[in-house]
Amino acid sequence: MAIPSLYQKDIISIADLSREEMELIVATAEKLKHTPRPDLLQNKVIASCFFEASTRTRLSFETAVLRLGGTLIGFDNGGNTSLAKKGETLADSMQVIGSYSDAVVMRHPQEGAARLASEFTKSPIINGGDGSNQHPTQTLLDLFSIYESQGKLEGLKIAFVGDLKYGRTVHSLAQACARFNCEFYLLAPDALSMPDYLLAELDEQGVKYQCVESMEEVIPLVDIIYMTRVQKERFDETEYKHIASRYILNAEMLTEAKDNLKVLHPLPRVDEINVDVDKTPYAYYFQQAENGVYARMALLALVLTEGSI
């Protein structure tokens, strides 16, 4: 079998990545976390194009570039640029920016922006979020965090809790973990349950999953709890008060947990994980956020380096 390589590849959607490519990214992230490579991207110029502000994602990407010795150009809010004011198409803007740089990281408020940019740009595009569509680096940092905390990706039991309808991070992580024969427990209010098309996809792939009623029943079973926020805006106030309490995790609930259980959350959290969980050995969401830098370093390194790292 061919050794997977991501050299000069666009990273647009998690669906484009094979299991082997995901494993390569995770393994590279681990290497770079333990062995700094401050000159790997020396003499490389990376464009960081944020047509929509996203402070966390941008800082994480830019830290990744700087930790590998690369140089940054770009902007942090498309609305302030002359590109937006002069009404140029995204296709033209990206063609030009791509010709200045060795790789382009981009975030854009419209779905499909990264795919479109990749068709007009010679340099590889790394999607940092396109509207409500894809955010592959979030999924890759989630995968890395799961791997790091469990020592493997294969055959894990994962509970997804909260907003499983609108949360794109949940959708693509479930799709990614499906390739590793993981088993899912789904806990969400009726109005925010996992969309049918996604369940149909899981069925097609023969993935085992079940919908559950409470966190208490899954906590003793699972290796990972992936928490997301149930947004107030989606309910009226009394309904919200009634519902939200079922999707809040506190330290006491974790007494029955397996030793290896880790709690993940894409952040920012509001109150769905009580701060008393932070001090337990199960909390992993801050390591997860830190891992965002390593996962993005891994991607940049793989996309810009021809040989092995």
- At its nearest, how many Å lie between another protein and the CB of residue 282? 34
Among 76, 130, 142, 148, binds another protein (CB under 8 A): 130
Query: Are 242 and 279 within 8 A, CB to CB?
Result: no
- At its nearest, how many Å lie between another protein and the CB of residue 98? 15
86 catalytic? Reply is yes
Exposure string of 14-29, with b = 16+ CB inside 10 Å and e = fewer, is beebeeebbbbbbebb
Query: Are 189 and 164 within 8 A, CB to CB?
Result: no
Burial of 238 (0-12, 13-18, 19+ CB in 10 A): exposed
Cα Rg, the chain, nearest whole Å: 20
Phi, psi of 128 (to 5 degrees): -100, 20
67 catalytic? Reply is no
Q: Is the peptide bond before 268 cis (omega within 30 degrees of 0)?
A: yes
Enumerate residues 6+ apart whose C-beta is below 8 A from 171.
Answer: 195, 198
Among 69, 131, 260, 290, binds another protein (CB under 8 A): 131
For residue 204, the tally of other CB atoms under 10 A from its CB is 9
| Residue 109 DSSP SS3 | coil
> Contact letters (x/-) for another protein, 177-216, by CB under 8 A?
--------------------x--x----------------
Q: Output 108 or 229, the one with its CB closest to another protein.
A: 108
Q: Output 13 or 60, the one with its CB closest to another protein.
A: 13
**For strand 45-50 and strand 71-75, is the pairing parallel, antiparallel, or unpaired?**
parallel
Q: How far apart are CA 67 and CA 45, in angstroms?
A: 13
Among 104, 113, 261, 299, binds another protein (CB under 8 A): 113
246 catalytic? Reply is no
Residue 116 found at the interface with another protein (CB under 8 A): yes
56 catalytic? Reply is yes
Among 134, 138, 149, 291, binds another protein (CB under 8 A): 134
234 catalytic? Reply is no
Site for another protein in 14-33 (CB under 8 A): 15
Residue 119 found at the interface with another protein (CB under 8 A): yes
**Part in contact with another protein (CB under 8 A); list of ranges 38-46, 85-93, 185-193, 205-213:** 85-93
- At its nearest, how many Å lie between another protein and the CB of residue 94? 10
- At its nearest, how many Å lie between another protein and the CB of residue 201? 10
Longest CA–CA separation in the chain, Å? 59
- At its nearest, how many Å lie between another protein and the CB of residue 284? 29
Q: How far apart are CA 88 and CA 68, in angstroms?
A: 32
Residue 95 found at the interface with another protein (CB under 8 A): no
Residue 279 found at the interface with another protein (CB under 8 A): no
Q: How far apart are CA 19 and CA 176, in angstroms?
A: 8
Residues assigned a catalytic role: 56-57, 86, 107, 135
Q: Which residues bind another protein (CB under 8 A)?
A: 13, 15, 89-91, 108-113, 115-116, 119, 130-134, 197, 200
